[in-house]
Chains A and B, each alone.
Chain A
């Protein structure tokens, strides 16, 4: 971070819901970036602005209620503020003017660190609306630092803030409990030492000090409020009260929540399909053009079928990610998300999940990738990990083509019993199976996973606010960027490996096949089928045949299992190539070929009911998706979690398919 150009580093610190992020957006505009704090999965937002010829680097720290952290986010905020490496010159303390009392606790703590500080009375318009009068000059005197009134939403007071930051000073006021410190922590002679030491030393003494210190601080705050703030006896929160009566109502509350889910679902399941098709078609065109323009050969093949195909597979996720985060940002920004969490907590808690797990889980009916990314809103580590791990068990839209193909083979000629359509019923059953498996797995993980972080649900229900479009758009952009560059790298690497496996064969086998094909006048389709069989993927498919035989699968299915690791729907395309049925969009011929397929030795049909069921169950449970694994890695910053997902889900799939196959045959 230490660049050669002299600059002033400032950090925004404040409670959650203090309007910090909006203020950050207003100060930096588009000059901002999203990164990651080392070792943890907390997003780091930083940016810059210029004021009177001086460069200011600005970091938006995660929200925290105090400098005694109770969660990973809070710990990150505290450590970053104290960090020698980042060396924060000015701490900008952001306060919600309409709720000063609680917000001032953190302010007094930060003042005691003896850094240059500025107090921001944010959302001043809301305080005015509630008839709260704050005597800024008195507050300035008591805190001995510049105090600025800002409305980050209408950008009022921003210039005053920039002036104040330039004039920030170290306060002479001391708020902390000096007597208690001498008694309990005599070795720490400054407040900064005390805060620092909680990350190293024995914590019990510090906890004792924390209790005494915070009570002491609130006594001082009471005095400050009495002196500097005039507020009406009864706070005017009638709009929030009325909305809460609706959103937490027995019927309307759940009704509204399901309506929201329905809308999100419609958008990411159906609406996202259009841009996704455009992206896929665009890339297909680009691939054709590139293949024709570049000289023929291996490099051409690598660029077209390896890199471009891989990129297409990454970019295609963007519409779903953008749409999902668009909704989540609005729900968070308006304050509704906290209510959804509130009404659902009791149900979800039983499964080791969180009220906030519901949206990721429902969204994963469309795709697990954006869902896993959206678990960031779950602040409790264990709840979040469980949500991430079980989400891919829910049947996503990529499984649908596989389901449809296999179900249609099973029910050739049969349509329905009475009004019930067989195929529809099986399809619904598979979705229910996936959901139940996810909930059961969550229940198991609840007892298996150990955590040092205490789980609690002591959460602020913020007042309702209009969504800030700038905040919403910035979040969407940030998420898309993080996905493209972080998870995208891994996905691209795996797609190139998969490309290599399917397009290369040992001992120049491809050339031999091509020569024979010319001699025998073999059709292109048949040649492709023979090539796939001879390729490394084909060899691998045959190698794993003994392992998958107990499930009723032959080597042809083995190849499709390997290639569909790129994305589950690739199964259909691979089967089409193997059975040389031509265009993978036209599954009619493929279905006929699969139905007609007979075992080489026994002359029995290969795709019996038992095999189809076994394969279906396998696809319900198996972790057949490299993008999900890459996203899980990105969101947990540890290979352990995607590895657990892979082993656990594939193991579950293997076992279930084995049981189903042997029971049915």
Chain B
């Protein structure tokens, strides 16, 4: 089981499920739904928080929050040239 906080910059994945009830409500209204494709855009210079691309916009979240999102890394994924 892989969670969102372990993705590398440029990697894409699909949201599977959430492990925190309260945060899941927030994530869903922000357009992070199970089945939705996401991409880790970049990581803050101090290693936390992270910025992901979802539903056509950029969302930032802390690693501990990202750890409550279970994802499946897309197989065709090769880590793209990182933006930063």
Contact = CB atoms under 8 A, between A and B. Distances in A.
Most interface-central of B27, B44, B47, B55 (chain A CB within 10 A): B44
Nearest to B45: A250
A105 B31 CA distance: 9
Interface residues of A, number: 43
A101 B31 contact: yes
Interface residues of B, dominant DSSP: mixed
A406 to B, nearest CB: 39
A214 B83 contact: no
A292 interface: no
Interface size class of B (residues with CB under 8 A): 20 to 34
A457 B59 contact: no
Given A68-B29, A211-B24, A458-B27, A346 B55 contact: no
Contacts of B25: 68, 70, 207, 210-211, 214
B75 interface: no
Contact of A342 (B29, B31, B55, B60): B60
B42 A248 contact: yes
B79 interface: no
Interface stretch (A237-245, A362-370, A429-437, A604-612): A237-245
B46 interface: yes
Contacts of A250: 45, 84
B31 to A, nearest CB: 4
A98 B45 CA distance: 28
A267 interface: no
A245 B33 CA distance: 27
A181 interface: no
Contacts of A215: 28, 33
A347 B59 CA distance: 20
A450 to B, nearest CB: 17
A99 B55 contact: yes
Contact of B84 (A235, A248, A454): A248
A459 interface: yes
A461 interface: yes
Given A99-B56, A254-B45, A458 B83 contact: no
Contact of B60 (A68, A240, A459): A459
B24 to A, nearest CB: 7
Interface of A: 65-66, 68, 70, 98-99, 101-102, 105, 207, 210-211, 214-215, 218, 231, 235, 237, 240-241, 244-245, 248-250, 253-254, 338, 342-343, 345-347, 349, 454, 456-463
18 contacts: A65-B30, A68-B29, A211-B24, A214-B25, A244-B41, A244-B83, A245-B42, A248-B42, A342-B49, A345-B48, A346-B49, A454-B22, A458-B27, A458-B30, A458-B60, A459-B61, A461-B60, A462-B58
- Which 9 residue pairs across A and B have the least CB separation, nearest first? A461-B58, A102-B31, A346-B46, A250-B45, A66-B29, A457-B62, A65-B29, A458-B61, A346-B48
